[in-house]
Amino acid sequence: MKIAFPTRDHQTITGHFGKMKGLLVVDIVAGEEIAREQRKMSDMPSCGQGHGGKAEFVSENLADCDVLIAGGMGTPIFDRIEATNTQIVLTEIKPIDKALAEYLSGTIEHKPQLAHGSQTGSTVQVIRRSASPDTSR
């Protein structure tokens, strides 16, 4: 299983998805971490009106990931990522290692209010998540 974290420094989760400089992807096999990979987003368009334009690039970089653990994000990117069957967990936890440990132990709390609508101010209300993570992959 691969778990991705949007980040600016490869140690903490970026508070807003659109402000990340890259992804830290952690590979988990049988509940144990076996590798970490940094994926730089230096080719992404600038923030602001470009959020929708980032979605395709981000989707490609998440294609092999099972889970995305993030801080806040807009509903357009949330919907696009969710359509790829990548599980999304939104959290206020900043340290990546802490969020990873809580996810693997099944204790991380999804905070749907961290997703915001670009025009409607809506929040994402649902997370599709089993009671415990599948760490066998």
The 10s digit of each residue's pLDDT in 62-119 is 889 999 999 988 888 888 888 888 999 999 999 999 999 999 999 999 998 898 874 4
Token output for 113: 């209010």
Alpha helices, DSSP H, located in the chain: 51-61, 75-82, 96-105
Residue 28 has pLDDT above 80, yes or no: yes
Tell me the CA distances in angstroms from 70 to 81, 86, 110, one per residue in order.
12, 12, 10
Residues 6+ apart with CB under 8 A from 94: 12, 13, 15, 71
Share of the chain above pLDDT 90, in %: 46
Q: Which domains does the chain have, with CATH numbers?
A: 2-116 (3.30.420.130)
Q: What's residue 130's pLDDT? A: 39
Q: What pTM was computed for the model?
A: 0.79
Token output for 63: 């294609």
